[in-house]
Amino acid sequence: MKFIIKYLKPFGKRMSIGFTIKVLGTVVELFLPYILSHILKEVVVSEKIQDVVYWGLLMVACAGCACVFNVVANRMASKVARDFSEKVRKDLFARMLQLSPAQVDKFTIPSLESRITTDTYNIHNFVAMMQRMGVRAPILLIGGAVITMIMDWYLSMVMLITMPIIFGIIYFISRKGVPLYTKVQQSVDKMVRVVREDVQGIRVIKALSKTDYEHRRYDGVNQSLVKDEKRAGIIMGSVNPVMTLLMNSGIVAVVALSASRVANHQSDPETVIAFMQYFTLISMAMMVMSRMFVMFTKSAASANRIAEVMDAPEDLVVQEEKDYPACDTKAHIFFDKVDFSYLGKLNNLEDIFLELPKGGTLGIIGATGSGKSTLVKLLLRFYDVSKGAIYINGRDIRTIPSEEFCAMFGTAMQYDFLYADTIYENIRFGRDLSREQIEQAAKVAQAHDFITSFKDGYEHMLSSKATNISGGQKQRLLIARAIAGNPDILILDDSSSALDYKTDANLRKALNEHMKDTTIITVAQRVSSLKNSDLILVLEEGKIIGKGTHEELLEACPEYREISDSQMGGAFVE
């Protein structure tokens, strides 16, 4: 709960005012049964109408004040809870964007989605309830107990015996609740993952007639969630019935004892009536506190999950140049005997050595799983190398500040995203780019013609994930976005796979003409997309098995020659 307290500190002043108003309203409410007892015992027997009216109006005034104070305090509590949860969601989202790919892999995307939605909702509810009832319930409980002790200490002993038992039960059950609700949230993560996968792959599911299979898969995780929720609900739900039993038993005991005491003239009916009202208030306060304990267990589990993300150590931090000194090289990009492993066991890349001059072009080809995209991710510093080093202009990339480093790159990957906005905004992507820059980028990416074919041109609205344009059009927009900022290094990771050969050839020609000073790295499965590169790498199982120009590889690398002949029979579309 340290996490929740930390975020509530800025709202301390507003909460203090709200608590003060809530205390006043609750204290006024506590006097109502006492005033009623006084009216029945002293005022009614005097038979003075003006006294009855006076005390009656006082009761109405107290009830009105309690109502107004509680409404004002509840509204303030709602505003604090709203602003608190907004701040938590904002910071959590910002922290999620700062997580390294390795940390995202660890948490998983469905779990992160669940934490920023369900978990923040749980702590929002707890903070709101804590302010509304967390003050009122203890005051009713303690204040009611004190007043009843003053009115009739003998009858109040029933409560003093009952309350420790109730608190003991609540404490025991609440300790079991946190791990139970943590497991429930983990099951929610699994269900979100399945739903997310099915929504993204709905076209494939329908095309392969696998809706029944996906129903069964969803039912599996849904039943698992039901099982975990049922277990948590049964254990935590036992609090209210047990409390109700104990409180009702206490009321029965009070009635029995009060009847005996009234008969023996040790008490009077008016005191018993007021006592019963106080006991009812105390019972309600105890019930509210039991609900708060249930909400506390949920919010504690959720707060722990959010804190895991917020407190995740900063990964891929900028290192000191004294620890990772620069190297003397004329290459723009230099991989110096790089090894890398995702899991720290078997190498996914091994002994990668390459030099690429400024304005040079690099092509990377290889079978699926050969390490092509992994090599690009290392250059982008999505992960740090396990061994060796990567240099840009002689500087180890681990020593380059993030903003400076990211500004060097323009990247278009095969599965990049387009969001529901205009084509113009999707290419601009929040950057300070002119209309001329965006249109020029679209022309180089061979996207300008199809964009202007729309009635509204660059203002054409894309649907979510750009489902209202073709795959080739998506890729050209992604390439336009990548080159619009005129980057020093352009990475095209299988980003032209949906383009026909003619459009692909025109794209390569335009890149060569308009981006001569940009170092271009192209990952592709088609030899035709790479054959004009200054340097081509052929990867297999994370190792370089061929390196050179297209002509050199045709002579020296059988694997490359086999790929080339199988695709085009040795002929290429220029």
The b-or-e profile of 352-385 (16+ CB within 10 A means b, else e) is bebbbeeebbbbbbbeeebbbbbbbbbbbbebbb
For range 376-403, the mean pLDDT: 92
Most trustworthy range by pLDDT among 38-52, 233-247, 285-299, 372-386: 372-386
Q: Which range (63-67, 74-78, 294-298) has the least confidence?
A: 294-298
- Here the tokens at position 528 are 């035709």
Task: Give the residue with greater pLDDT, 238 vs 25.
Answer: 25
Nearest 5°: CA angle at 196, between 191 and 200?
A: 150
Q: How confident is the model at residue 114 (pLDDT cuts 50, 70, 90)?
A: confident
pLDDT at residue 571, as a whole number = 45
Q: How confident is the model at residue 298 (pLDDT cuts 50, 70, 90)?
A: confident
Task: Give the residue with greater pLDDT, 171 vs 361.
Answer: 361
Q: How confident is the model at residue 573 (pLDDT cuts 50, 70, 90)?
A: very low
pLDDT at residue 254, as a whole number = 74
Q: Is the pLDDT of residue 572 over 60?
A: no
For range 372-385, the mean pLDDT: 91
Task: Return the sign of the alpha-carbon dihedral for residues 339, 340, 343, 346.
Answer: negative
Nearest 5°: CA angle at 506, between 501 and 511?
A: 125
pLDDT at residue 216, as a whole number = 87
Strand blocks (E) in 313-427: 333-340, 349-356, 361-366, 387-392, 395-396, 409-413
pLDDT 10s digits, 488-499: 999 998 888 778
Query: CB–CB of 327/391 below 8 Å?
Result: yes
- Domains of the chain: residue spans and CATH: 2-310 (1.20.1560.10), 414-486 (3.40.50.300)
Q: Is the pLDDT of residue 225 over 50?
A: yes
Task: Return the sign of the alpha-carbon dihedral for residues 131, 133, 136, 139.
Answer: negative
Q: Is the pLDDT of residue 570 over 60?
A: no
Q: How confident is the model at residue 537 (pLDDT cuts 50, 70, 90)?
A: very high
β partners of residue 489: 409, 519
pLDDT at residue 101, as a whole number = 85
pLDDT 10s digits, 459-472: 999 987 788 888 88
- Distance CA(435)–CA(458), nearest Å, equals 10
Q: Is the pLDDT of residue 45 over 50?
A: yes
H or E stretch covering 183: helix 153-200
- Distance CA(342)–CA(427), nearest Å, equals 32
Average pLDDT, the chain: 85
Q: Is the pLDDT of residue 443 over 80?
A: yes
128-132-133-138 Cα dihedral, nearest 10 degrees: 120
